């Protein structure tokens, strides 16, 4: 596709939330090797024990997707969603207000597999009630949520999915985003991070977004240097005997779900 545009950051083009959701979150295969299934199972396993809990949760780079907040909601009282793109913030606000139905296959999979007997609509209502703020963030800044209603808040836990590698260009950039995140987390607080490894781009429609190329070892090194104890880091290749590459949409080689604690 020679007419595709490779962009350095999301600052250069308006993000298309509906195309993104349709491309990546409209169906959960529920099969070993499926990346979305791997992410969702990893999230549920991270939160099911109740060890990651507290009053305030921040989801960094929520985008138009809610799977991280959905999994965390039973364990927190106040949830803040955040994103760089204002169109995503508007999209999330519409979902919170019940104006749009969103991510039903993802929510249904999470409840049917892990919370049998629970009503999907009730779980969504719980999340809507607990979302207290939807704010602009920029993880490249020392204070990613400056000049928002939660400026100055230190959170009990932070979740983030497919954000940091997309918001940075170099490994140094990536390390700075981790440092910036750390400033928002209380000592002893938890990070739950979903990411991709060895990826240079992902595609939404006809636009290709550039990402930081980073290995599993580099991820571990960066978080450790920034003062985190890695409790678990599961990657797709090690967890699944086989996996399917979405080569049409991305050139990633692996993916991970990580739980870390700020020491």
- Which residues, 6+ apart, have CB-to-CB distance to 122 below 8 Å? none
* pLDDT at residue number 2: 43
**Count of alpha carbons within 13 Å of 239, Cβ hemisphere only?**
20
Q: How many domains does the chain have?
A: 1
Q: Which domain holds residue 34?
A: 5-262
Tell me the pTM: 0.93
pLDDT in tens, 163-205: 999 999 899 999 999 999 999 999 999 999 999 999 998 888 8
Q: Which of 97, 87, 153 is nearest to 127 (CA)?
A: 97
What phi and psi, each to the nearest 5 degrees, are found at residue 135? -130, 160
**Within 13 Å, how many C-alpha atoms sit on residue 7's CB side?**
18
| pLDDT tens-place string over residues 111-127 | 986 666 678 999 999 99
User: Which CATH number do you get for residue 152?
Assistant: 3.40.50.150
H helical segments located in the chain: 17-24, 35-47, 67-72, 86-96, 104-114, 120-130, 164-167, 171-182, 216-225, 236-239
pLDDT tens track for 70-108: 999 999 999 999 999 999 999 999 999 999 888 999 999
pLDDT the model gives residue 16: 85
- pLDDT (0 to 100) of residue 247: 67
Which pLDDT tens digit goes with each residue over 153-170?
999 999 999 999 999 989
Asked if 38 and 255 touch (Cβ cutoff 8 Å), the reply is: yes
For residue 12, pLDDT over 90 is answered with no
Pair 145, 151: CB distance under 8 Å: yes
- Strands 207-210 and 201-204, sheet pairing: antiparallel
**pLDDT tens digit string along 211-257?**
899 999 999 999 999 999 999 999 998 888 776 666 678 899 999 99
> Inter-axis angle of helices 17-24 and 86-96, to 10 degrees?
70
Contact (Cβ atoms closer than 8 angstroms) between residue 143 and residue 122: no
pLDDT of residue 7: 52
CA separation for the pair 199, 213 (Å, rounded): 5
The secondary structure of the chain in percent helix, strand, coil, rounded to multiples of 5, reads 35, 25, 40
Give residue 1's pLDDT: 41
């Amino acid at each position: 596709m020679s007419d595709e545009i490779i962009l350095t950051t999301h600052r250069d083009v308006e993000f298309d939330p509906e195309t993104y959701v349709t491309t990546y979150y409209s169906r959960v295969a529920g099969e070993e090797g499926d990346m979305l299934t791997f992410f969702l199972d990893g999230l549920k396993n991270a939160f099911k024990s109740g060890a990651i809990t507290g009053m305030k949760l921040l989801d960094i780079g929520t985008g138009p997707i809610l799977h991280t907040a959905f999994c965390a909601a039973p364990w927190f009282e106040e949830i803040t969603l955040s994103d760089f793109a204002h169109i995503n913030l508007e999209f999330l606000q519409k979902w919170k207000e019940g104006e749009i139905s969103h991510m039903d296959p993802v929510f249904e999979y999470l409840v049917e597999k892990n919370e049998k007997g629970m009503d999907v609509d009730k779980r969504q209502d719980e999340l809507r009630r607990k979302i207290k703020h939807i704010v602009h963030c920029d993880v490249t800044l020392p204070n990613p949520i400056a000049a928002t209603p939660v400026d100055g808040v230190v959170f009990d836990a932070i979740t983030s999915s497919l954000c940091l590698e997309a918001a940075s260009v170099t490994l140094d950039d990536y390390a700075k985003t981790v440092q910036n995140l750390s400033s928002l987390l209380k000592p002893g607080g938890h990070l739950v991070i979903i990411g991709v490894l060895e990826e240079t781009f992902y595609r939404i429609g006809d636009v290709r977004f550039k990402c930081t190329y980073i290995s599993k070892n580099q991820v571990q090194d960066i978080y450790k240097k920034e003062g985190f104890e890695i409790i678990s880091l599961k990657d797709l290749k090690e967890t699944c005997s086989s996996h399917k590459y979405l080569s049409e949409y991305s050139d990633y080689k692996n993916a991970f779900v990580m739980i870390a604690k700020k020491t």
